[in-house]
């Protein structure tokens, strides 16, 4: 039974690894088909003619999205007594970003990140608590930026179409529910470990797991580590603030890319805050969509939001450049770094 499940999981991973690039190509093809006045050649020409300074700022801001997540995880780990190096944090970040992008609802990101953390000697309980807190702060930062966007540009939401508004409302609702859920789990981790213990015990009784004592002992230790970490988090305001701040900067660095690219391709800098506000709402709208990287949905929201501030062709160029930089290039770079990091760690383990 366990062997069948392992094979099934393997094929699922292969399916999503193949399907995600195909979905990406199909999304770009569909967008180009719907915008016959625009071509890839025209997009490349727009990028080549962009203001180099603002275009570089957009590229740096996009890269900082990777860096800030690594810093956030390292910041939380230091609060638990570990002293990870930034390069370790970058690997945790890239593995999360890459596998989140190629799996539905970002289900692969946290396990991939946990894998590298535990390979570095961090216990399962500490890893669970750290990643749970980081995801909670990540979610909370999206909600905070949504509030900021309304303050900056109160009329931004009204300019979206009805389907886009429904997506944004749905996304905001899910983010709030998730935040409340994470707070509840962080304060009462017994629920998680009690459930895992029952599952392992059941498999032991059914002889699916031949020796259930070892995994149960590991769960007991993980629960103790998790409890100690969660208690440390709840009483450490400075640690919580730092975790939130780094996650806020991470989201901010990604959302700013659209506004910086808009200015770089000749857009009016005075509209920069409007672009930023709309991108905040766009991010809320597609963040809960159960598709790898929210491909298709994110593109629709961006085109719909940007079209109210500029002509359609410019909106399309901005959407393609922004999405290309913050998603396609970012994910590809994250995948490359993760692969290299995996090979290095594997070689060290063999030695």
List the one residue out of 320, 304, 306, 323 whose CA is nearest residue 267. Answer: 306
Kindly report each contact of residues 58-61 with a partner whose C-beta sits within 8 Å and lies 24 or more positions away, as own/partner. Answer: 58/256, 58/257, 58/260, 58/261, 58/264, 58/325, 59/325, 61/253, 61/254, 61/256, 61/257, 61/260
pLDDT in the model for residue 103: 76
Query: Cβ contacts of residue 276 below 8 Å, gap of 6+?
Result: 149, 152, 255, 256, 258, 259
Rounded average pLDDT over 34-63 = 82
Whether the pLDDT of residue 5 is over 50: the answer is: no
Q: Determine which of 30-34, 106-110, 142-146, 339-343 has the lowest per-residue pLDDT on average.
A: 30-34
What are the Cα distances from residue 349, in Å, to 87, 120, 263, 344?
Answer: 18, 11, 48, 9
Considering 55-59, 139-143, 305-309, the range whose residues carry the highest mean pLDDT is 55-59
Between 217 and 157, the more confident residue is 157
Whether the pLDDT of residue 120 is over 50: the answer is: yes
For the chain, give percent helix, strand, coil, nearest 5: 85, 0, 15
Contact of 284 with 75, CB cutoff 8 Å: no
Rounded average pLDDT over 52-60 = 95
Q: How far apart are CA 248 and CA 239, in angstroms?
A: 14
Whether the pLDDT of residue 147 is over 80: the answer is: yes
Whether the pLDDT of residue 6 is over 50: the answer is: no
Give the relative orientation of helices 124-152 and 213-234 as an angle to the nearest 10 degrees.
40
At 175, the pLDDT band (50, 70, 90 cuts) reads confident
pLDDT in the model for residue 41: 74
> Within its chain, how far is the Cα of 304 from the centroid?
22
Q: What percent of the chain has pLDDT over 70?
A: 77
Whether the pLDDT of residue 270 is over 70: the answer is: yes
Q: What percent of the chain has pLDDT over 90?
A: 26
Q: How far apart are CA 66 and CA 325, in angstroms?
A: 12
């Amino acid at each position: 039974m366990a062997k069948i499940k392992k094979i099934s999981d393997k094929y699922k991973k292969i399916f999503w690894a193949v399907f995600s690039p195909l979905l990406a190509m199909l999304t770009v093809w569909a967008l180009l088909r719907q915008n016959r006045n625009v071509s890839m050649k025209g997009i490349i020409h727009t990028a080549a003619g962009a203001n180099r300074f603002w275009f570089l700022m957009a590229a740096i801001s996009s890269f900082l999205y990777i860096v800030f997540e690594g810093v956030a995880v390292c910041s939380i780990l230091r609060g638990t007594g570990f002293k990870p190096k930034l390069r370790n944090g970058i690997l945790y970040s890239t593995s999360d970003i890459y596998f989140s992008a190629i799996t539905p609802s970002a289900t692969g990101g946290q396990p991939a990140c946990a894998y590298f953390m535990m390979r570095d000697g961090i216990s399962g309980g500490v890893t669970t608590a750290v990643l749970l807190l980081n995801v909670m702060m990540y979610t909370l930062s999206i909600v905070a930026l949504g509030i900021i966007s309304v303050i900056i540009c109160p009329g931004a939401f009204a300019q979206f179409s009805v389907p886009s508004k429904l997506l944004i409302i749905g996304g905001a609702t899910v983010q709030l529910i998730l935040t409340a859920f994470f707070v509840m789990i962080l304060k009462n981790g017994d629920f998680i470990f009690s459930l895992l213990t029952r599952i392992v015990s059941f498999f032991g009784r059914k002889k699916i797991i031949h020796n259930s004592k070892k995994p149960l002992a590991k769960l007991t230790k993980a629960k103790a580590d998790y409890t100690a970490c969660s208690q440390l988090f709840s009483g450490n305001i400075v640690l919580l603030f730092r975790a939130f701040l780094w996650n806020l900067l991470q989201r901010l660095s990604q959302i700013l890319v659209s506004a910086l690219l808009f200015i770089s391709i000749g857009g009016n800098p005075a509209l920069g805050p409007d672009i930023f506000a709309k991108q905040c709402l766009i991010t809320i709208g597609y963040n809960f969509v159960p598709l790898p990287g929210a491909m298709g949905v994110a593109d629709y929201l961006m085109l719909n939001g940007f079209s109210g501030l500029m002509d359609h062709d410019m909106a399309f160029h901005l959407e393609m450049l922004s999405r290309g930089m913050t998603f396609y290039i970012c994910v590809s770079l994250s995948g490359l770094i993760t692969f290299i990091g995996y090979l290095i760690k594997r070689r060290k383990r063999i030695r």
